[in-house]
Amino acid sequence: MPSEAGGAHPPVPGGAHSPVPGGTHTPVPGGTHTPVPGGARRRLVLKMSGEALASQASDETIDGLVVERLAGEIASACEDLDLELAIMVGGGNIWRGSTGAGQGIDRATSDTMGMLATVVNALALQDAIERRGHPTRVLSALHMAEVAEPYIRRRAIRHLQKGRVVIFAAGMGNPYFTTDTSAALRAAEIEAEMLLKGTHSGVDGVYSADPKVDPGAERLDRLSFMDVVTRDLRIMDLTAVTFCKDNDLPVLVFDVMGEGNLRRALAGDQIGTLIW
Ligand code: UDP
Per-residue pLDDT 10s for the chain (276 aa) are 454 433 334 333 333 333 344 433 333 333 333 334 445 789 999 999 999 999 877 789 999 999 999 999 999 999 999 899 999 999 999 999 998 878 999 999 999 999 999 999 999 999 999 999 999 999 999 999 999 999 999 999 999 999 999 999 999 999 999 999 999 999 999 999 999 999 887 778 888 877 888 888 888 999 999 999 998 888 899 999 999 999 999 999 999 988 899 999 999 998 999 999
Per-residue b or e along 184-209, where b marks 16 or more CB atoms closer than 10 Å to that residue's CB: bbbbbbbbbbbbbbbbbeebbbbbbb
Which residues make Cβ contacts (< 8 Å) with residue 248, sequence separation at least 6?
none
CB 179 less than 6 A from any atom of ligand 1: yes
Q: Give the nearest ligand 1 atom to 181 CA.
A: 8
CATH architecture type of domain 43-275: 3-Layer(aba) Sandwich (3.40)
Closest Cα to atom 6, ligand 1: which residue?
Answer: 178
Give the pairing of strands 273-275 and 251-255.
Answer: antiparallel
Whole-number Å distance, alpha carbon 86 to ligand 1 midpoint, is: 17
- Is this prediction's pTM over 0.85? yes
Whole-number Å distance, alpha carbon 114 to ligand 1 midpoint, is: 5
Whole-number Å distance, alpha carbon 173 to ligand 1 midpoint, is: 10
Closest Cα to atom 12, ligand 1: which residue?
Answer: 96
CB 177 less than 6 A from any atom of ligand 1: yes
The domain segmentation of the chain, as residue ranges, is 43-275
Whole-number Å distance, alpha carbon 158 to ligand 1 midpoint, is: 26
CB 190 less than 6 A from any atom of ligand 1: no
CB 72 less than 6 A from any atom of ligand 1: no
